[in-house]
């Protein structure tokens, strides 16, 4: 009976430590433009901290949220996030708030790297788009 209790306790500890290694991530696909007509028909970025982050770093007047995904990624595992028809992220949880990210645009890898995520702070990938606009993928850890 005592051996069974020790085994069950060990299994519970293993499950709890595995859960703690899961990375809870929020990712947003953003389109930046100076055109005020909102041709993409998506809402403006609503989060004031994110909007401030984007305006502080980049030149665009308008930032539109195309899509948002939230996911929990177990340590050492990779998860695909389909952000749009043309944009997919492959995100691997390396542990300790570190990720490896491949950004795939129109079927081709446009960005790949290993990054540290400061808790609650936005991490940004981006590139130029047509008509003097740009795309961005922003990511942060969440407690959800």
pLDDT at 6: 46
Domain boundaries, the chain: 23-141
pTM for this structure?
0.81
CA 91 to CA 100: how far, in whole Å?
A: 6
CA 98 to CA 85: how far, in whole Å?
A: 27
Give 14: exposed, middle or buried? Use CB within 10 Å, 0-12, 13-18, 19+. exposed
Strands 133-141 and 123-129 turn out to be antiparallel
What pLDDT, in 10s, does the model give residues 24-60? 999 999 999 988 776 667 888 999 999 999 999 999 9
Tracing tokens 């055109």 back to the chain, one arrives at 35
């Amino acid at each position: 009976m005592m051996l069974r209790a020790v085994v069950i306790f060990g299994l519970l500890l293993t499950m709890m430590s595995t859960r703690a290694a899961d990375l809870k991530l929020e990712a947003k696909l953003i389109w930046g433009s100076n055109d005020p007509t909102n041709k993409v028909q998506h809402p403006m970025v609503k989060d004031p901290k994110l909007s401030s982050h984007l305006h502080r770093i980049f030149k665009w007047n308008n930032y539109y949220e195309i899509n948002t995904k939230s996911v929990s990624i177990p340590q050492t595992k990779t998860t695909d996030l389909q952000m749009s028809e043309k944009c997919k992220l492959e995100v691997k949880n390396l542990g300790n708030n570190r990720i490896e990210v491949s950004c795939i645009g129109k079927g081709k890898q446009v960005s790949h790297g290993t990054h540290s995520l400061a808790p609650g702070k936005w991490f940004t990938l981006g590139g130029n788009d047509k008509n003097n606009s740009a795309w961005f993928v922003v990511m942060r850890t969440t407690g959800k």
